[in-house]
Amino acid sequence: MKEITRTPIVILNFKTYLESTGEKALNLAKISQEVAEETGVNIAVAPQHADLLRISGQMSIPVLAQHVDAVDAGGHTGSVLLESVKEAGASGTLINHSEKRMKLADIQQVVKKATEQEMISVLCTNNIETSAAAATLQPTFVAIEPPELIGSGIPVSKAEPEIVEGTVDIMHQINPDVKVLCGAGISTGEDMKAALDLGSEGVLLASGIVLAEDPKKALLDLVSKI
């Protein structure tokens, strides 16, 4: 399995932007790999499911699914099976992103299945309380993302630093093995440095890179102060 747990880490969520769909998704993944190789920073990408197989087959950096459903193999038409994304080359998956919320029981099932399949789980939360609950489920990463700041250009590391610090503190108390990532509004090197200074071990971001006029330049700036 491609390395992903080394920190600091940058996880780039492609979401469903046209700028990160199909051939453009592959190009963005190649740019991410180039920056990872040039800087030595651990960078992972999370493309749409339809692009997983092609991208994972051509990349040496880790590739994640954006979501999987809490289902086992069988009659679940339209659902995303964890075993399917693993076969497509995914090293793990995002779980409970603010744009794809899940029920607690489903989150627990997906985290458990990912662990059993030796896959990485990146569990997204929106505040300190949900982060505390997430820690007990033992995901690989908890990514703290206040939904009101996602895509805003206002980084949580600066707008609400107490949420990041509080999540790091509670994680150390409940389950120090779970690594904390900072998300929402992250786009520059200053943003990432601030996130790391608050105790996080990386960032989860999207539009600041995906929609940048020059994604490679934006990624290089993002990791420039590590």
Query: What are the DSSP calls for 11-63, one per residue?
Result: EEE-TT-GGGSTHHHHHHHHHHHHHHHHH--EEEEE--GGGHHHHHHH-SS-B
Spatial CB neighbours of 207, under 8 Å, sequence gap ≥ 6 = 15, 17, 151, 187
Q: Which of 97, 148, 160, 172 is catalytic?
A: 97
Q: Where are the alpha helices (DSSP H) in the chain?
A: 23-39, 52-58, 82-87, 104-116, 128-136, 156-159, 161-174, 189-197, 207-210, 215-222
Q: State whether the Cα torsion 182-183-188-194 is positive or negative.
A: negative
Q: What angle do CA 112, 92, 16 make, to 5 degrees?
A: 120
145 is catalytic: yes
Q: Which of 67, 145, 160, 201 is catalytic?
A: 145
Task: Give me the amino acid identity at 34.
Answer: E
Rounded to whole angstroms, the Cα distance separating 42 from 139 reads 19
Q: Which two tokens stand for residue 72?
A: 């086992």
Residue 186's Cβ-side half-sphere holds a number of Cα atoms within 13 Å equal to 33
**13 in Cβ contact with 47 (< 8 Å):** no
Structure tokens at 38: 């040039």
Active site residue 160: no
Q: Which residues are catalytic?
A: 97, 145
